[in-house]
Amino acid sequence: MKPLATITLALGLALAPALAQAGGGDDKDIIGKKWLISLGGKLYDNLWSALNIAPPKGRNPQYPAGADIPAADTWRCVACHGWDYRGREGQLKKLRNSPRFVSLRPLDGKTQADVARRIRARHPEFNRVLPPPMLNALAFFIARGQHDVTQVLDKTGRARGDVLPGKDIFEGVCISCHQADGKAYIEGEPGDRPALGWVTRYRPEQALHKIRNGVPGADMLSLRFLDMKQIADLLAYAQTLDPHPEEPSSSGD
């Protein structure tokens, strides 16, 4: 009979490539640090809302002309690096194929210190608003908290998950805030329609990022305690929900 340690090691080795492939940084060294990583994910989404401070006035001069988004949003990391972290190699390409939309995927797996150094070097404009603990959380997210979106979504944006187990998670966790039909009012991003069925179908990379990291300044959970398969299941179920937002109630007054 093989000693237990050997079996565990063999199992560990067999699982390691699969987990590494799924991305999402489920390695040993981030266990117990998911809160910090999701804080970094929220800063990446919108550091101004996360820190509760006003963004600079006007448009970010670094932001490419011809890609039209609200001026305040041009100061968000996600505006140039994307909900899938791939810059113009990913979802942002539809907006504009600009060389300013740079992929951060090559930084996946680097050290936090290395990424923090790169942020300071390439983006001195954020030094004033990013005190060291916040810079470190952001760097930690980029180094260890990114996921490979293609492992969860296919080319058309459909989640590679199973609807039924996703429904169990949705009914257990999400409906207390979002309602069973996913139509409890949400503000979302400019242009979004307020229904989870709509957001998960038409903004799947954005929904995936927010599901894993939470939403800055809102009560949305960070679901990093679920593995990537469960997240894919959850998204697969949410994509079956009716995308049409709730009609405004006519008996309101």
Quick one: which of 9, 26, 29 has its CA closest to 18? 26
Residues 76-135 contacting ligand HEC, CB under 6 A? 77, 79-81, 100, 102, 104, 106-107, 115, 118-119, 122-123, 126
- How far apart CA 134 and CA 128 sit, in angstroms, is 11
Instruction: Out of 29, 31, 54, 176, name the contact with ligand HEC by CB under 6 A.
Output: 176
Name the segment binding ligand HEC (CB under 6 A); options: 15-23, 31-39, 51-59, 169-177: 169-177
Cα maximum dimension of the chain = 74
Instruction: Out of 196, 228, 236, 241, name the contact with ligand HEC by CB under 6 A.
Output: 196
Quick one: which of 210, 205, 202, 206 has its CA closest to 245? 202
Residues 10-39 contacting ligand HEC, CB under 6 A? none
Instruction: Out of 234, 236, 239, 241, name the contact with ligand HEC by CB under 6 A.
Output: 234
Contact 84, 205 (CB under 8 A): yes
- How far apart CA 58 and CA 70 sit, in angstroms, is 9
Residues 200-229 contacting ligand HEC, CB under 6 A? 203, 206-207, 210-211, 215, 218-221, 223
Question: Whole-number minimum distance, CB 1 to ligand HEC, in Å?
Answer: 42
Name the segment binding ligand HEC (CB under 6 A); options: 24-32, 49-57, 176-184, 239-247: 176-184
> How many degrees, rounded to 5, is the angle at CA 75 between CA 69 and CA 81?
80
Question: Whole-number minimum distance, CB 5 to ligand HEC, in Å?
Answer: 36
| Distance linking the first and last C-alpha atoms of the chain | 74
Compute, in degrees rounded to 10, the torsion defined by CA atoms 73, 75, 76, 79: 70
List Cβ neighbours of 63 (8 Å cut-off, separation of 6 or more). 74, 79, 80, 100
Should residue 149 be labelled a site residue for ligand HEC when binding is judged by CB under 6 A? Answer: no
Contact 203, 189 (CB under 8 A): yes
Residues that bind ligand HEC (CB under 6 A): 47, 60, 62-63, 77, 79-81, 100, 102, 104, 106-107, 115, 118-119, 122-123, 126, 138, 142, 169, 173-174, 176-178, 186-189, 192, 196, 199, 203, 206-207, 210-211, 215, 218-221, 223, 234, 238
